[in-house]
Structure 1
Amino acid sequence: MSTMTSDRRSAIKEIVCDILELEEDEVTETSLFIDDHGADSLRAIEILASLEKEFGITIDQSELAQMINLEAVYKVVAEAPVR
């Protein structure tokens, strides 16, 4: 996995928190979007689409199942191909 800058991590966290309507201090690297924050599949798709737009990457929809917390999202974004 490629390294991710703290700026990119911050941008990802900001996107996730905005879509989940949470304050940044409410979301940890390992808190679960569905179990801990009540996210649904529509929110997950919104996160995926926002990340693609923000970073110019392509994330396969099959990756949604992996995107359960911030750590997993960082990994998916780091491995996503640039458009």
Structure 2
Amino acid sequence: MTSMIESRKQEIRRIVCETLEIDPDVVTDDSSFRDDHDADSLRAIEIVAALEEELEIKIDQSELVRMVDLAGVYAVVSEAFGER
């Protein structure tokens, strides 16, 4: 189970970094997309769209406020998969 979660986290990191056009080595779980990586609100929407398409999930737009760093994205995606 843990390897599946770690694999999903790696996939999420890849999607986010590709969308933000940043090196995965500079992103930490709690680095702010906006403050640390200069991402604007349009980028946040692009992240949601990419996650929905590649992971075949649905993320409500209201979750954007939580998706400010990788930790928030992991939590939202886990909930979209029905995990807690």
- Compute the TM-score of the two structures, normalised by the length of structure 2: 0.89
Tell me the CA shift for residue 81 of structure 1: 5.2
Residue 5 of structure 1: how far off its partner (Å): 1.1
User: Does the CA-based 8 Å contact 1:59-1:81 persist in structure 2?
Assistant: no
- The 2-side partners of 1:15 and 1:57 are apart by 14
Highest RCO, 1 vs 2 (Cα 8 Å, sep ≥ 6): 1
Query: In the alignment, does 2:57 pair up with 1:57?
Result: yes
Give 2:67's aligned residue. Answer: 67
Q: Aligned pair in 2 of structure 1 residues 81, 25: CA closer, same or farther (>3 Å)?
A: closer
Contact map agreement 1:29 1:71 (CA 8 A) in 2 = yes
In the alignment, which residue of structure 1 is the partner of 2:47? 47
Q: Partners of 2:17 and 2:61 in 1: how far apart? A: 20
Alignment TM-score, normalising by the size of structure 1 = 0.90
Deviation string for 1:43-78 (max 9, x for gaps)? Answer: 000000010111111100010111010000000000
Write the deviation string for residues 3-62 of structure 1: whole angstroms up to 9, x where unpaired.
761110000000110111110101000000001100001100000001011111110001
**Paired amino acid for 1:35:** D
Overall identity of the aligned pairs, in %: 56
Gaps of 5+ in 1: none
- Greater mean deviation of Cα atoms: 73-82 or 12-21: 73-82
RMSD between superposed Cα atoms in Å? 1.5
Report which of the two has the higher share of helix.
2
User: Which residues in structure 2 correspond to 1:1-83 (within 5 Å)?
Assistant: 5-80=5-80
Note the residue ranges of structure 2 that are not aligned, 5 or more in a row: none
